[in-house]
Structure 1
Amino acid sequence: MAEKQISLPAKLINGGAAGIIGVTCIFPIDLVKTRLQNQRSGQQVYKSMLDCLMKTLRSEGCFGMYRGAAVNLTLVTPEKAIKLAANDYFRHLLAKDGVALSLSKEMLAGCGAGTCQVIITTPMEMLKIQLQDAGRLASQQLVSRVPCSSPGCKLLAVSPVLARAYNVGPIAFPRRISATQIAVELLHTQGIKGLYKGLGATLLRDVPFSVIYFPLFAHLNRAGHNSLEEKAPFFRSFLAGCMAGSVAAVSVNPCDVIKTRLQSMGKGRNEESYNGIIDCARKLWMKEGPLAFLKGAGCRALVIAPLFGIAQGIYFIGVGEFLIELYQYGRLSP
């Protein structure tokens, strides 16, 4: 990976653009991941990733696949910009002229990047999860005919709106309110800490992720390169980002399941709450078994691989060069 310095504004622009493009491409799979991770044993609404995609499309339409995308697209620009630029900055601080970083220093730089990004990641995912999981809660209420009694549900269901159920005609689904309304309600009732619910679990996921991801990406991206200054082409960075992202995503999936459960305010019938990371991990192990920690792992790999592949590819070659490469590729294609 090139250690050549780029100006901070360029890094932020590249990182932000990379995040927006990546999220737009993979958001429906991210929605499926959240819903699968929040399912409890014996109360499954969805049988698999494909089943969840099809049922969501049938019952909520194409726009339902992007439930919560607005908050993600709004905040992913600073989140990805901070993550990528922070890693680059820490690598520069730890580097010596002409000498490649040792693995321990690469991991330290990744740790710094993961720690910095949670400033944006925690409230972003907190709000996104409420909107993504609302469809699962609504479907469970329709099946059980029992309304959701959790305090968090009042933020998700305001007034009924007609939608199409999986295999029947139009039926009343709760209308989901916006991320802004949820944020205002949280700030009013719980203060700023309401938006940072699950901060510890987010750190537990994102720091190890970055420690694994960034060094692995750096080594894959510069494989076969003799010079640290040689810039890798887009598709090399894309593939390196996909491979490194998949490995890191599956490695920290148990932490992601815990984070998702802790940040979900809305609970379905007989779905219990958790008093912190240890309590959540213990209840998952005791009541749902060790396989519960792997829920959504396939979806997460499918989300993270292209997201970080696109993000790293665009970040390292720049938005302008990416568009030029895309144009040239289009001209050469039959």
Structure 2
Amino acid sequence: MASEKPQVAYQANLKQALLAGAFAGTAVDTALFPLDTIKTRLQSQAGFIASGGFRGVYSGILSAVVGSAPNASLFFVTYEATKRLLGASVDHTKYAPFIHMTAASFGEITACTVRVPTEVIKQRMQTKQFQSTSAAVSNVLRTEGILGFYRGFLSTVAREIPFTCIQFPLYEYFKRSYSNYKGRMVEPYEAAMWGSLAGGIAAALTTPLDVCKTRIMLSHKNQTAKQYNGIISTMKRIVAEEGPRVLLAGIGPRVMWISIGGSIFLGMYEKAVKTFVQLQLLEDRR
């Protein structure tokens, strides 16, 4: 009889996924914030230098830190729950890529309810439109209302779903293949390595969508220039006014940021899950 394939990685319950996601999200957003700032300024219509250059690369970090834990927690809870729901109803091995793409897409849509408001404030501070988080928040409320915090929601989802549909099936495939090759579960540091590779590939392929998302989020009602609205119209306008190369603006920092970020994010998540599972096993033995 053929030996049973090893479990790929430690499996978290939804409470553990919630906590592990919070740890992972906070760690990556705090550690890599300067790279995110540089990427945002490179994509700004005003230009890198006018948006602040290398000065004040931690502008907007408060918004990012406040949103990172609930954002990542929502993603992983939805991702794990959807994976289990779909995996229980179909052949998990045969339909694994479909399951991972669907689960990751639902996870991103849920997470964007928290991510988008924090991104709006963070990016406007990163490009020196405001000097403090409170000023940015009050300005959005006064000029655009509550819906102003969700400016770019659809463009963010339109960026995140293709990104996550590339990253997570690749990540799960890399983990599964490596686990089968080694004949054991993947360790957190190994998951970090595969998360970095999957994230870098997805980041490069979705940079044009990220450029459009950034332009839309940086637009506001009081600006003199025409606002950006919608992924397709923004992409057409950038190509017509600035050339197609601008759609790859910030690709270097973006790939670097998400490669390192994918390593920290998924490595920390797997490490936290492993720790929680081991603690639970010790508790159950008492």
**Same-fold call, TM > 0.5?**
yes
Q: Distance in 2 between matches of 1:20 and 1:89?
A: 21
8 Å Cα contact 1:79/1:121 also seen in 2:
yes
Task: Provide the aligned length of Structure 1 versus Structure 2.
Answer: 268
Listed as ranges, the matches of 1:22-61 within 5 Å are 22-39=28-45, 45=49, 56=54, 60=55
> What is the aligned partner in structure 2 of residue 332 from structure 1?
none
| Structure 2 counterpart SS, 1:216 | helix
Q: Distance in 1 between matches of 2:126 and 2:246?
A: 19
> What is the aligned partner in structure 2 of residue 240 from structure 1?
194
Cα distance, 1:321 vs structure 2 = 3.7
Amino acid at match of 2:126: Q
Cα distance, 1:272 vs structure 2 = 4.3
> What is the aligned partner in structure 2 of residue 312 from structure 1?
266
8 Å Cα contact 1:198/1:259 also seen in 2:
yes
Listed as ranges, the matches of 1:47-196 within 5 Å are 56=54, 60=55, 64-96=56-88, 99-100=92-93, 101-134=95-128, 153=129, 156=130, 176-178=131-133, 180-196=134-150
Q: Distance in 2 between matches of 1:297 and 1:211?
A: 19
How far does the alpha carbon of each residue in 1:57-80 deviate from its partner, in whole angstroms, 9 at most, with x for none? Answer: xxx4xxx22111111011010111
Q: Distance in 2 between matches of 1:68 and 1:257?
A: 19
Q: Distance in 1 between matches of 2:219 and 2:238?
A: 17
Assess, with a 3 A threshold, how the Cα gap between structure 1 residues 232 and 202 changes in structure 2: closer, same or farther. Answer: same
How far does the alpha carbon of each residue in 1:77-124 deviate from its partner, in whole angstroms, 9 at most, with x for none? Answer: 011111222212111111149943432222222221122111111111
Q: Distance in 2 between matches of 1:2 and 1:86?
A: 20
Cα distance, 1:39 vs structure 2 = 4.0
Question: Which of residues 289, 292, 297 is equivalent to 2:246?
Answer: 292
Cα distance, 1:285 vs structure 2 = 0.7
Q: Distance in 1 between matches of 2:112 and 2:262?
A: 17
Which structure has more helix as a fraction of its residues? 2
TM-score by length of 2: 0.83
8 Å Cα contact 1:3/1:92 also seen in 2:
no
Bigger Cα Rg = 1
8 Å Cα contact 2:17/2:273 also seen in 1:
no
Question: 5+ unaligned residues in a row in structure 1: which ranges?
Answer: 47-51, 135-152, 157-175, 325-334
Aligned-residue sequence identity (percent) comes to: 28
| Structure 2 counterpart SS, 1:67 | coil
Q: Distance in 2 between matches of 1:218 and 1:288?
A: 38
Instruction: Please provide the CA RMSD for this pair.
Output: 2.9
Q: Distance in 1 between matches of 2:253 and 2:138?
A: 31
> What is the aligned partner in structure 1 of residue 284 from structure 2?
none
Amino acid at match of 1:32: I
Q: Distance in 1 between matches of 2:249 and 2:197?
A: 20
Assess, with a 3 A threshold, how the Cα gap between structure 1 residues 266 and 200 changes in structure 2: closer, same or farther. Answer: closer
Cα distance, 1:310 vs structure 2 = 1.1
Cα distance, 1:300 vs structure 2 = 0.7
Assess, with a 3 A threshold, how the Cα gap between structure 1 residues 262 and 254 changes in structure 2: closer, same or farther. Answer: same
